[in-house]
Chains A and B, each alone.
Chain A
Amino acid sequence: MTDQSDNAASVRSEPMPPWRWAYRLLRVVVMLLMAYWLSNSGDAFFYQGF
């Protein structure tokens, strides 16, 4: 059992319905876009008074 045991369980539970595919792909895209945006915008994203 590790941090990602849910993922491992989902790998075993094929076949996956299309809506589940779409949801998981959308989640990946959102996470990647946010990571890309913040890693590029850097300090400009944040209020400089912190």
Chain B
Amino acid sequence: MNPTIDLTTPGFWLVALLAMAVMTPITHGALRRWVWACVNLLFIAWMLRLRVVEVVAGVAVAHLALRLLTCRGWGLLIALGGLASTVGLFVLHKLPGVSQGMGTSVVNPLLLAVGFSYVFLRLIDAGRVIYEGGRAPPDLPSTVNYLLPFHMLAAGPIQSYEDFVDQPAIPKPISAVEALSGVERIALGLFKKFVVAYMIRKVFLTEFYVTGPYFLFEVQLHYLWIYLDFSAYSDIAVGIGRLMGVHTPENFDRPYLARNMIDFWDRWHISLSLWVRRNLFIPVQLSLARRTGGKRALMIATLAFTVSFLLCGLWHGISWPFFAWGAMHAFGLVVTNAYRYWLTRRLGRKGVKAYKEKLIYRLLAQLGTFQYVAFSLVIIVYPWKDLWS
């Protein structure tokens, strides 16, 4: 059985309260890292019912691999081997029936731990940054804390390794107003998820077993429901992080106001968007630019968007609907980029600025982007099997 994180169970909140209570008074950096690691492992053992010894063994392997990335001569070999094994484990876990079929073997908890989609992304990000020499590898408790932060496991955000390393070892004491704002974020997240999103789903959503005008109505509300439910997790994570003194990046910026697909990905699941940019888009773009000597920028960006978002779709799930979702977003990004390029050439920078400031164009662009995103989400959940049968 895959582990799940249920926000309605008291255990999650007890761990959160414990973390706030024990971490806030600590003023010694190393001690704080170890205590934070113990809290995360307690959560893994208690809430996810994974065997801690095996999870620690998995983290220790990741820790060792991350440290070896800095070794001269061996770095490239370790990077390629680590990447291949991490991606291999992730794909194994994502393939339907594989992790369930492994029962209670030693590998299963490791697969489950690595299979957590967000853990996988963090591991890749840390590996790339360390291999490129951007930051030093983490010590053992920091490896636990970066890969398995309990409040970010459910649905992100995906903290970048640089951001994790750069946060102060001992955070500034928070004021009463800051503490209240943290509590407000948690309350807002719970309200969005368990009141507004829940009521929308319960009252209006039919899982698209409807036709006609109600189908179109449900498409709009389905997008709204996903936004409220998903951003609620981020609100809760940011609120808990603020109260614990653990930096937790923001993940949403009013995505329903996006005026094109590039703007949308600057506002929706921002931490995933930045991960894709750092680890897929830029490496693909740079690699192609080197081969062409910096020419054909539009073609290169098109290829980079396509590769990045097809993989992003498959990261969500190895299935045709997710592949189609990724393809639709890649297409939207490519068209936006090409249109932006064409518009700049035709109107010039000043002309584009004037064009963007016109209210009617902005409203039409926002409406079009909203519909495009809303219909792309339908692809994932539409009952295709029932349609074919």
Interface residues of A (CB under 8 A from B): 1-4, 7-8, 10-11, 14, 16, 21, 24-25, 27-28, 31-32, 34-36, 38-40, 43, 46, 50
Contacts and interface: CB of A to CB of B under 8 A. Distances in A.
For the residues of B in contact with A, the DSSP-based class is helix
Contact of A7 (B8, B184, B198, B202): B184
A2 B203 CA distance: 29
A27 B184 contact: yes
Given A11-B177, A27-B187, A28-B183, 10 more contacts: A3-B252, A7-B181, A7-B184, A8-B181, A16-B177, A31-B191, A35-B194, A35-B195, A39-B8, A46-B202
A27 B181 CA distance: 12
B54 interface: no
B253 interface: yes
A35 B191 contact: yes
Interface in B64-107: none
B253 A24 contact: no
Return the 3 tightest CB-CB contacts between A and B, nearest first: A31-B191, A35-B190, A35-B194
Interface residues of B, number: 28
Contacts of A16: 177
A33 to B, nearest CB: 10
A2 B253 contact: yes
B188 interface: yes
Nearest to A40: B8
6 contacts: A10-B181, A27-B184, A31-B191, A38-B199, A39-B8, A46-B203
B177 A10 contact: yes
Contacts of A11: 175, 177-178, 181
B254 interface: yes
Interface string B188-220: 101101110011001100000000000000000
B181 A2 contact: no
A24 B180 contact: yes
Given A3-B252, A4-B238, A21 B203 contact: no
Nearest to B175: A14
B177 A4 contact: no
A1 B190 contact: no
A43 B195 CA distance: 12
A21 B231 CA distance: 25
Given A11-B177, A28-B187, A38 B238 contact: no
A8 B178 CA distance: 9
A11 to B, nearest CB: 5
Contact of A25 (B180, B193, B195): B180
A38 B196 CA distance: 10
A36 B187 CA distance: 10
B184 A28 contact: yes
B177 A31 contact: no
Nearest to A50: B203
Contacts of B252: 2-3
Contacts of A7: 181, 184-185
Nearest to B232: A35
Contacts of A40: 8
Contact of A31 (B175, B181, B190, B203): B190
A3 B253 contact: yes
Given A3-B231, A34-B191, A14 B177 contact: yes
